[in-house]
Homo-oligomer: A and B are copies of this chain.
Amino acid sequence: MISVEKALQIVLNSVQNFGTETSMEEIPFLQSVGRILKENIFADRDFPPFNRVSMDGIVIDYASFKNGQRSFKIEGIQAAGSEQITLYNAKNCIEVMTGAVLPNNANTVIRYEDVTIKDGIATIDIDTINDAQNIHTKGKDGKAGDVLIKQNTKISAAEIGVLATVGRAFVKVAKQPKVMIVSTGDELVGVDETPLSHQIRRSNVFNLVSLLERLNIPSETAHLTDDKPVLKEKIKAYLQEYDVLLFSGAVSKGKFDFLPQVFEELGVEKLFHKVAQRPGKPFWFGSAASLSMSEQGVYHNENHKNKKQTIVFGFPGNPISTFVNCLVYFYPWYYKSVGLEMEEETAILAKDISFKPNLTYFLQVKLCYKFGHLIANPVMGNGSGDLASLVHADAFIQLPSENKEFKSGEVFPVIRYR
């Protein structure tokens, strides 16, 4: 049994062919929120692209004000979206609108609030104005050719506006892996079925679908019966077609836990089985290089165009085990695959906790903020089968296996799921 740290290292070493041309796609910019940018975005022009008026008001030649002049005849209007006009007489002014080009021969904007306009004459009501005030100077925020958004940025609403401004109607982002999520277990029936007394409804796969949706990864789901020949045939096909297979169940010591055996027989290399953690201990992880029928795989090896790597996450079947392992292993694997660097978040434990086994303990917590501190309040469920306890928490904190006693006030890594 290996440690969580070692297991994570092996998972992260299984990220392959990341960042190659075949792992990108070009999509409409408005659909790119949450995706990982795979190119630098450059300024196509200076920002702003012209000396831009930043207040509604009048524009003058500052020299006239400095010479004591306070009243200015209005010569014209420079609207936003109009071609640049010219102030012909340095003793006159032009009305200007926010977003307009600064008129020729003018250099200082006085906002309407500080001006009185009567009979075509604008009189400045204040004594102090600054040369070149209320002008957003051409190129002040950036020069043509500057990198505005760096490659590997996770695109948010903030980036969308910049992409629009530089005219990037389409943008290159990391492809998403093609994922199949498989449940096993003959006790499971569908969501719209009524279970018999010894049955329950499928739920783990839907937890996984939603956790992947948080990463904007679409996925497919299937349910397989605990029948070895069926499992073998179906999984063989999935290995050809998908980049990632996520399983829930059938990886422990049960008589019908056929998956490890099936994986072996199908040539999936076992990288580890069992991790010193609670919940989620019987986690099986491996990878398969198989001949690919599909051209859609993210992990094409450029040198062997027909070869394709499929990563297999065999999560234990208890709901909390599946849930936490997806967050602890699949998420970082995905982030590294698409080139995203994630900063570690930490929280302060609100209550003493004792945990004796020599295992990393993923403790469910409810988070809250107090005075800029992130506080983690333990939520005590009834073990890894207690699905409903996830509703009362919003994260796990990771308590290291070396310690047995964890004190209120100590700080631990936090893994959020909302």
Residues on A facing B (Cβ under 8 Å): 29-30, 33, 43, 45, 47-50, 52, 54, 56-57, 77, 79-84, 95, 97-101, 111-113, 136, 140-142, 148-149, 153-154, 156-169, 185-188, 191-204, 206-207, 209-211, 213-214, 226, 249, 252-257, 317-319, 323, 343-348, 368-375, 381-383, 385-391, 393-394, 411, 417-418
Contacts of A213 in B (CB 8 A): 33, 157
Measured between alpha carbons, how far is A193 from B319 in the docked complex, in Å?
A: 51
Measured between alpha carbons, how far is A118 from B186 in the docked complex, in Å?
A: 27
Asked if B56 contacts A252 (CB within 8 A), the reply is: yes
Asked if A371 contacts B346 (CB within 8 A), the reply is: yes
A370 to chain B, nearest CB (A): 8
Asked if B203 contacts A162 (CB within 8 A), the reply is: yes
Of B30, B111, B169, which one neighbours A210 at CB under 8 angstroms?
Answer: B30
Asked if B161 contacts A206 (CB within 8 A), the reply is: yes
A47 to chain B, nearest CB (A): 6
A191 to chain B, nearest CB (A): 5
Asked if B165 contacts A203 (CB within 8 A), the reply is: yes
A130 to chain B, nearest CB (A): 15
Measured between alpha carbons, how far is A149 from B388 in the docked complex, in Å?
A: 8
Q: List 9 A-B contacts (CB under 8 A).
A: A29-B191, A52-B385, A83-B198, A100-B187, A154-B418, A158-B393, A158-B394, A161-B203, A161-B206
Q: State whether A372 and B369 are in contact (beta carbons under 8 Å apart), knowing that A164-B191, A253-B113 are contacts in the complex.
A: no
Contacts of A161 in B (CB 8 A): 203-204, 206-207, 319, 323, 387, 390
Contacts of A159 in B (CB 8 A): 390-391
Of B77, B97, B169, B198, which one neighbours A82 at CB under 8 angstroms?
Answer: B198
Contacts of A257 in B (CB 8 A): 56, 97
Q: State whether A136 and B385 are in contact (beta carbons under 8 Å apart), knowing that A187-B81, A191-B167, A391-B149 are contacts in the complex.
A: yes
Asked if A198 contacts B84 (CB within 8 A), the reply is: yes
Q: State whether A369 and B385 are in contact (beta carbons under 8 Å apart), knowing that A50-B198, A101-B198, A390-B161 are contacts in the complex.
A: no
Asked if A188 contacts B81 (CB within 8 A), the reply is: yes
Asked if B164 contacts A201 (CB within 8 A), the reply is: yes
A190 to chain B, nearest CB (A): 9
Contacts of A43 in B (CB 8 A): 388
Contacts of A199 in B (CB 8 A): 81
**Which residue of the partner chain B has the closest CB to A371?**
B411
Asked if A158 contacts B385 (CB within 8 A), the reply is: no
Given contacts A162-B388, A162-B391, A372-B375, 8 further A-B contacts (CB under 8 A): A56-B257, A80-B226, A97-B256, A101-B197, A157-B207, A161-B206, A164-B191, A164-B201
Contacts of A253 in B (CB 8 A): 56-57, 111-113
